[in-house]
Amino acid sequence: MALFTATTARIAAQASVAARKANRERPPAPPPPAPPPLPTTPADDFAVRKLARVRGQIERVELLLDDADDPQAVDRFANALTRLYDLERVLAGRPLPGSRRPREEGRERSGSRSIYDGVAPAAHVQPVQPAPAPLPEPELPSL
Phi, psi of 87 (to 5 degrees): -65, -40
Domain annotation covers residue 49: yes
Considering its fold, how many domains does the chain have in total? 1
Q: Is the pLDDT of residue 74 over 80?
A: yes
Domain assignment present for residue 47? The answer is yes
Of the ranges 38-42, 85-89, 98-102, which is most confident? 85-89
Predicted structure pTM score: 0.43
- Say if residue 40's pLDDT is above 70: no
Residue 16 included in any domain: no
Which residues neighbour 81 within 8 Å (Cβ) at sequence distance 6 or greater?
A: 58, 61, 62, 65
Per mean pLDDT, which of 3-12, 26-35, 64-73 is the most reliable?
64-73
Does residue 106 have a pLDDT over 60? no
Task: Give a yes or no: residue 120 inside a domain.
Answer: no
Q: Is 18 within a domain? A: no
Residue pair 91/51 in contact by the 8 Å Cβ criterion: yes
Give the range of the structural domain holding residue 70, as residue numbers without chain letter.
41-96
Q: At what angle do helices 71-92 and 42-67 cross, to 10 degrees?
A: 160
Average pLDDT for residues 82-104, to the nearest whole number?
86
Say if 75 falls within a structural domain.
Answer: yes
Q: What pLDDT, on a 0 to 100 scale, did the predictor assign at position 82?
A: 96
